[in-house]
A and B are shown apart, each in its own frame.
Chain A
Amino acid sequence: MNDMNGQTAFGLASDVSSLMEKRRRNGLVWHIVFIFSTTLAVLFLILLVFSIIDSVFGYAVLINDVEPSALVAGKESVTDFNRAELENVARTRLSAGILRRVEYDKPIAERSDKDLVSLVEEYVVKPKVLKTWGFWGSLTERKAIETYIGENEGSYATFRSWLTPSFIMADQSADPLRAGIRTALLGSLWIILITFVFAFPIGVGAAIYLQEYAVDNRLNRMLQLNIFNLSAVPSIIYGLLGLAVFVRFMEPVTSGSFIMGTVDNTANGRTILSGGMTLGLLVLPIIIINTQEALKAVPDTLRMSAYGVGATKWQTIWYQVLPVSVDRILTGTILALSRALGETAPLVVIGASTFISVDPSGIFSKFTTLPIQIYQWSARPQGAYRNIAAAAIVSLLILLLLMNSTAIYTRDKITKKKRLEA
């Protein structure tokens, strides 16, 4: 371009092109920074998933109290024992007290083979975990594992998945090989149920008021602001609120003693009811905000046409607005509940039980939940607890995935439906 060769206020053409070179380089450097940051974020997710999956599968080096071969000559595993051998070992090797209790629960003769195998393993063979390796370690550190077995006489390695059907079905136990999450899983489901029952009607009701009834005045603006603030209050504060109000102040109600006299009083108000209501308070602002968004999405023309045929305000809301927005409201609620499902801190603060092996039987039961279980196991330094913590995390994530995919499925269905109607 002709005059670019001459001198201008922007310097010589060579200045312009060298400056451009610099600017281009700058742009490139930052572009790389942006891509790098984004990659980093994705990498975090991959690492997070990997570090969990890694702990779920892998070698565990175990040592037995009594070798199976010492019980029945020539058989290396209890599962190889035949029926007669199993019954015999059970009768002769169980200590008198345990034998009496076992026979009392269900006579040995009537028990299934599988049942007897686990009896013998639990009380006679008594395998203990010495050390565990993650999946990656199991692949790369073969040598170290062999050396370790060599150093510990009588130990042996098995490759195992820590997440098994029996892990999900079993009670809590101090022994990581036998521990399971059934109690915690049931606790979580109970809590979610109470949270839903408590927070859903109130949340949706409040949202309807704010979105459909509230005029723009000081009080209503304050209500709205307050809800936004509540949604950002740290969850642990809700735990303190629940501890002081539900557990302590309302103990006669939350422990159930007001209707049943003196029931199981060990719960001291630290019941499913208290936990569920605490989380209910926590997710209430989220449900309100999500529901308001759902109601905002309903076009005003719909309301106008309802008023136009002489409907009252409530008739308009009940027969026109809510049916149109119900899917979105439910989606928002499910998202809020999945937040509650993963919450740990408030439940620890209100004093959820850390070790119970009795399934919760109702809203006045003591409880533990999956996240609390994960917390307890993660906090223990011994290796095998980390593995079962990881297995519990996978269970929790699957549960969350189920809830969220329901939410996303509903959302997509609405979009599709709306598109067809349009």
Chain B
Amino acid sequence: MKIAIEHPFGKKMRIHERLIEATLFGFALLSIVITLGIAIILIRESYLFFSDPEVELWGFLTGKEWQPMIGRFGFLPLLNATLTTSVIAMALGIPVGLFVAVYLSEYASDKTRGILKPVLEVLAGIPTIVYGYFALTFMTPLLRSIFGMETVQIYNTASAGLVIGILVLPMIATMAEDAIGAVPKELRLAAYALGGTKMETTFKVVIPAALSGLSATFLLALSRAIGETMIVALAAGAGPNLTFSPFEAAETITGYIVRISGGDVSYNSVDYNSIFALGLILFLITFTLNMISRKISRMFHQEYE
């Protein structure tokens, strides 16, 4: 006969503790499943798209015409429109956002900050569809009254781009302010002690020191602008159009996806598969930008630790 002698401090199994941990781990793992899901679905449907006899990869990447109805699948017009709106958005969002950030962190009194920060928060919390409405009912008429009804079409990439710029502005301002705020106070004092003016201190010491944090911010904003959908769906126009004029209507990648899926599209048609192929490209572009942005901002944080 054996008598099990239990050690007074012997390890306990605590099955339910382990079960809980395993479940929570499963939840965390789900995020990987989502990413894989996105990748698998986009790749699978894109594969179907490119295996369609009407589609060939080279023509897709270099073709200047996107007209699925007649078998033209060149995605340059869509890419071009996406880049046009994004570049316009950045041209407005980056300088204004950066200057707002500089103003907030270097110039504004606590009281002014207390008013401005909530304004930015409100701007950031407004749904993009509302910005789309704003583009259509305010920005477009404004552009048309400035540049003339003949020059500016009712749907145009300039209006959409500018409003995307306004959309990303609070995000740029907030993140840029964080980056600028992370620059040690001692550096500013050193610059002042050498006889630097506030402007010289800001531009030649503070901003260069925050540069990597700022670039991370700008890349993330660019990624956001490229993926923005409702503003372009409402204001940039339906129908692919390869043009370099920002005053003409041109459909972006996201605009096309929304328009096609909004109609009744039947599964396994080329149309259906094409939105996934475009989605894959969108995903790759934004994913790359996000990764680079994250890398840069990690480097930035190491600099000041």
Q: Within 8 Å by CB, do A and B touch in the complex?
A: yes
User: Helix, strand, loop or mixed for chain A's interface?
Assistant: helix
Q: Are A351 and B261 in contact (CB under 8 A)?
A: yes
CB distance from A210 to the nearest CB of B (A): 6
Q: Are A37 and B103 in contact (CB under 8 A)?
A: yes
* Contact for A240 among B41, B173, B199, B202, CB less than 8 A: B41
Q: Are A213 and B24 in contact (CB under 8 A)?
A: yes
* Contact for B123 among A45, A213, A225, CB less than 8 A: A45
* Contact for A229 among B102, B103, B203, B287, CB less than 8 A: B287
CB distance from A140 to the nearest CB of B (A): 15
Give bound CA distance, A47 to B264, whole Å: 36
CB-CB contacts below 8 Å: B252-271 with A? 254, 257-258, 261-262, 264, 267
Interface size class of A (residues with CB under 8 A): 35 or more
Confirm or deny: B17 has a beta carbon within 8 angstroms of a beta carbon on chain A.
yes
CB distance from A135 to the nearest CB of B (A): 13
0 or 1 for each of B33-67: is its CB under 8 Å from A? (1 = yes):
01101100110010000000000000000000000
CB-CB contacts below 8 Å: A375-400 with B? 375, 378-379, 386, 389-390, 393, 396-397, 400
Q: Are A240 and B275 in contact (CB under 8 A)?
A: yes
Of the listed residues B116, B257, B264, B290, the one surrounded by the most CB atoms of chain A closer than 10 A to its CB is B257
CB distance from B283 to the nearest CB of A (A): 5
CB distance from A85 to the nearest CB of B (A): 41
* Contact for B229 among A234, A241, A312, A350, CB less than 8 A: A234
Q: Are B234 and A371 in contact (CB under 8 A)?
A: no
Q: Are A225 and B17 in contact (CB under 8 A)?
A: no
0 or 1 for each of A42-59: is its CB under 8 Å from B? (1 = yes):
101101100110010000
Confirm or deny: A142 has a beta carbon within 8 angstroms of a beta carbon on chain B.
no
B-contacting 9-mer, from A61-69, A163-171, A173-181, A280-288: A280-288
Contacts between chains A and B (CB distance < 8 A), count? 254
* Contact for B133 among A202, A288, A351, A389, CB less than 8 A: A389
Q: Are A396 and B130 in contact (CB under 8 A)?
A: yes
Give bound CA distance, A222 to B32, whole Å: 9
Q: Are B28 and A237 in contact (CB under 8 A)?
A: no
Chain B residues closer than 8 Å to A344, beta-carbon distance: 127-129, 229-230
Of the listed residues A35, A238, A285, A341, the one surrounded by the most CB atoms of chain B closer than 10 A to its CB is A35
A-contacting 9-mer, from B144-152, B181-189, B220-228: B220-228
Give bound CA distance, A378 to B233, whole Å: 11
Chain A residues closer than 8 Å to B41, beta-carbon distance: 240-241, 244-245
Q: In the complex where A284-B34, A338-B125, A378-B133 touch, is A314 in contact with B262 (Cβ < 8 A)? A: no
Chain B residues closer than 8 Å to A285, beta-carbon distance: 31
Confirm or deny: A239 has a beta carbon within 8 angstroms of a beta carbon on chain B.
yes
Q: Are B31 and A284 in contact (CB under 8 A)?
A: yes
Q: In the complex where A230-B31, A232-B286, A241-B37 touch, is A41 in contact with B261 (Cβ < 8 A)? A: no
CB distance from B97 to the nearest CB of A (A): 8
Confirm or deny: A195 has a beta carbon within 8 angstroms of a beta carbon on chain B.
no
Q: Are B200 and A349 in contact (CB under 8 A)?
A: no
Give bound CA distance, A69 to B24, whole Å: 71
Q: Are A213 and B258 in contact (CB under 8 A)?
A: no
A-contacting 9-mer, from B73-81, B134-142, B240-248: B134-142
Give bound CA distance, A178 to B30, whole Å: 45
Of the listed residues B134, B136, B287, the one surrounded by the most CB atoms of chain A closer than 10 A to its CB is B134
Q: Are A210 and B294 in contact (CB under 8 A)?
A: no
Chain B residues closer than 8 Å to A281, beta-carbon distance: 34
Give bound CA distance, A182 to B16, whole Å: 46
Chain A residues closer than 8 Å to B257, beta-carbon distance: 236, 239-240, 349
Closest to A30 in B: B199
Chain B residues closer than 8 Å to A404, beta-carbon distance: 125
Closest to B287 in A: A229
* Contact for A38 among B20, B35, B99, B276, CB less than 8 A: B99
Give bound CA distance, A375 to B126, whole Å: 15
User: Helix, strand, loop or mixed for chain B's interface?
Assistant: helix
Closest to B118 in A: A408
Q: In the complex where A240-B42, A375-B233 touch, is A41 in contact with B170 (Cβ < 8 A)? A: yes
Q: Are B96 and A40 in contact (CB under 8 A)?
A: yes
Confirm or deny: A7 has a beta carbon within 8 angstroms of a beta carbon on chain B.
no
Q: Are A236 and B279 in contact (CB under 8 A)?
A: yes
Give bound CA distance, A342 to B294, whole Å: 26
Chain A residues closer than 8 Å to B258, beta-carbon distance: 236, 345, 348-349
Q: Are B261 and A378 in contact (CB under 8 A)?
A: no
Confirm or deny: B21 has a beta carbon within 8 angstroms of a beta carbon on chain A.
yes
* Contact for B262 among A40, A44, A284, A348, CB less than 8 A: A348
Chain A residues closer than 8 Å to B25, beta-carbon distance: 209, 213
Q: Are A314 and B130 in contact (CB under 8 A)?
A: no
Give bound CA distance, A375 to B108, whole Å: 38
Give bound CA distance, A240 to B127, whole Å: 20
Closest to A313 in B: B17
Q: Are A374 and B133 in contact (CB under 8 A)?
A: yes
* Contact for B27 among A45, A205, A228, CB less than 8 A: A205
* Contact for A226 among B35, B125, B279, CB less than 8 A: B35
Confirm or deny: B197 has a beta carbon within 8 angstroms of a beta carbon on chain A.
yes
Give bound CA distance, A397 to B130, whole Å: 9
Give bound CA distance, A182 to B233, whole Å: 25
CB distance from B239 to the nearest CB of A (A): 14
Q: Are B23 and A223 in contact (CB under 8 A)?
A: no
Confirm or deny: A161 has a beta carbon within 8 angstroms of a beta carbon on chain B.
no
Listed in ascending order, the chain A residues whose CB lies under 8 Å from chain B are 23-24, 26-27, 30-31, 33-38, 40-42, 44-45, 47-48, 51-52, 55, 201-203, 205-206, 208-210, 213-214, 222-223, 225-230, 232-241, 243-245, 248, 281, 284-285, 288, 312-314, 338, 341-345, 348-351, 354, 371, 374-375, 378-379, 386, 389-390, 393, 396-397, 400, 404
Q: Show 13 residue pairs from A and B whose CB-CB distance is below 8 angstroms, ordered by the A residue.
A: A23-B197, A31-B199, A206-B27, A228-B290, A233-B38, A233-B227, A240-B276, A241-B41, A314-B16, A344-B229, A345-B230, A375-B129, A378-B234
* Besides A38-B99, A234-B228, 12 new A-B residue pairs in contact (Cβ under 8 A), listed by A number: A31-B107, A42-B119, A48-B131, A205-B27, A210-B28, A226-B32, A234-B223, A236-B257, A237-B279, A240-B279, A244-B276, A312-B17
Please list the 7 inter-chain residue pairs (A to B) with the smallest Cβ-Cβ separation, ordered nearest first. A234-B227, A342-B127, A37-B99, A209-B24, A205-B27, A345-B229, A27-B199
